[in-house]
Structure 1
């Protein structure tokens, strides 16, 4: 007798592609049924676009935010789904910004990503609006716009699945993932005043050959992002970062997308980056990179999306406050990323994230 392999995950573990579109949406009042219908039919839309160009490797991962979940699905919630918590350090801020649904679209060609994004947004017209749209691209040999290779430490094979997929610890939601996304804008003018050796100390890797430095500065990006579980084992996430930019506006950035079986690991990395560690005040990279968005989503399994639990009888009231940031706030941060943050209207979310634990 064949053994069940568990729920089929979404395409979280997909290899890097040359293009991506990240669509973050807010559900309009009364829009939950249309959003639920789209998510149920999402796999078919991906096939409709991707079948015509099989070499394009088109995929789409959908995630749902805490405030939208109870309006889409009845029954239990994912155990660790909660709003993204703002982090306000002595010098740097990780803002929490709106986001009910995310569509992470990937392909070898931008036209495939664009076509799928267009179909999805047209289906959701009047039911959900786009609050943030980012088009990512591959930059040379998997480098970010700071000139360093990004994603080197991603786990592979079975280790990737163990890091990214929820297991039996949350049975109804096994095969899912938690996704945290942030947009970072880089101050390339200041960055380029550093010589190569200074830049390497900030990152913790060599720039040309992408080798981890033997001696790490306490505030290097590599050193600060090392998170260990209760057993001392290093905890891992699966990054799907992409460079993005708009030359005319002088925007050069990295879209951070971190998948994990628990949001606690990614949240601990961010706490260390923005609030510091016993050895470092903050991640030195933040002196050159400003976070302008921040949202947390649960990515259900593909089986869950295709055959979801019953919809709630009436739209559930929000159990937790939405972030008070509007798209205009995000745009203002974009305009002032190299100077004052200009987002004093952000209010903290006092939810306390779960502890990092061994997986």
Structure 2
């Protein structure tokens, strides 16, 4: 079965102007009730999104949501499971660790206005709040010129438009039961902005591997050996494997808390995991200024899979 963008959730490159990431934990007080609420949410969430698109036309709205491994096992014990859905295993490097943190339900909303993100999450939580607690909620924003909070253009090497579907959507060769689904890896970083801003521009460029102003890539001999765009690249037999990644700035500036929420969508988590492993085992220079405080893997179901949940097929 071929991939079909019409049957997928919004897992393409679209960072948005305003963004909310929400990670929830199931209370697990009553399995039958929890299953009924998730059925209801699977059914109503699309209507809520469509209604908001009408209300906000022509402004774009993008939403993706899904399940962590433990939530899938709990809610759908008799269902097949996406082949690569598991709890993220921490990656311990010589200097830094990509930690693993819990998450049962993950929601990623982006829109032009924060009021739209608010309205969507508020309506979603009207359904989910009775059966969940909040593990993390992060409000992000688009920085000037689409730059990351550390000042560099974000997503230059991302696959664009329809091409991104080839990198994010599962096809029948990978997992026939879950075609048009996707894996989402979410990782929240807190930055040492004073230290980063204390570097000379040319030293920042060597750390990232690109020119700060015009975004051109540096020559290899100009980069540090552990420059970010070297150690975050996944290449097998001379072929570069890609994912769709978004680095979303967030900040509480009065409290001197500033960071990046990284979300990576892919058709196979293996590629993302290799990128992370290389970053942490080779001590990506950016990690000297960026500390991961979360790390969770989720499966983003296709609309066909959500229909099976709505109809109760996976509960039998």
TM-score by length of 1: 0.81
CA contact (8 A) 2:92 2:98 kept: yes
1:250 aligns with 2:249: no
Deviation of residue 234 (structure 1)? 0.2
| Cα deviation code 1:270-318 (max 9, x no counterpart) | 1111112xxxxx10000000000000001111222134352435xxxxx
Report SS of the residue matched to 2:22.
Answer: strand
Question: For structure 2, which runs of at least 5 residues remain unmatched after alignment?
Answer: none
1:219 aligns with 2:201: no
Structure 1's 192 and 130: CA in aligned 2 closer, same or farther, altered over 3 A? same
1:19 aligns with 2:22: no
Deviation of residue 158 (structure 1)? 4.2
Matches within 5 A, 1:1-359: 6=4, 8-13=7-12, 15-29=14-28, 30=30, 31-73=34-76, 74-169=78-173, 170-215=175-220, 216-229=223-236, 231-276=237-282, 282-308=283-309, 310-312=313-315
Task: Point out 4+ residue stretches in structure 1 off by more than 6 angstroms.
Answer: none
Deviation of residue 248 (structure 1)? 2.1
Structure 1's 14 and 200: CA in aligned 2 closer, same or farther, altered over 3 A? closer
CA contact (8 A) 1:71 1:312 kept: no
CA contact (8 A) 1:50 1:112 kept: no
Deviation of residue 241 (structure 1)? 2.1
Take 1:311 and 1:167, find their aligned partners in 2: how far apart are those partners? 20
| Cα deviation code 1:59-117 (max 9, x no counterpart) | 21011110011233332100111101111222111111110110101111110000010
CA contact (8 A) 1:142 1:150 kept: yes
| Cα deviation code 1:191-247 (max 9, x no counterpart) | 111100000000000000011111232100000011113x42100010122100111
Take 2:131 and 2:3, find their aligned partners in 1: how far apart are those partners? 35
Report which stretch shifted further, 185-194 or 4-13. 4-13
Deviation of residue 15 (structure 1)? 2.8
Report SS of the residue matched to 2:225.
Answer: coil
CA contact (8 A) 1:184 1:290 kept: yes
Take 1:262 and 1:4, find their aligned partners in 2: how far apart are those partners? 16
| Cα deviation code 1:151-173 (max 9, x no counterpart) | 11101234311111111121110
Take 2:39 and 2:273, find their aligned partners in 1: how far apart are those partners? 28
Take 2:294 and 2:2, find their aligned partners in 1: how far apart are those partners? 39
Aligned pairs, number: 305
Structure 1's 79 and 199: CA in aligned 2 closer, same or farther, altered over 3 A? same
Q: CA RMSD in A?
A: 1.7
Deviation of residue 49 (structure 1)? 2.2
Take 2:98 and 2:207, find their aligned partners in 1: how far apart are those partners? 19
Structure 1's 284 and 246: CA in aligned 2 closer, same or farther, altered over 3 A? same
CA contact (8 A) 1:83 1:295 kept: yes
Choose between structure 1 and 2: higher strand proportion.
Answer: 2
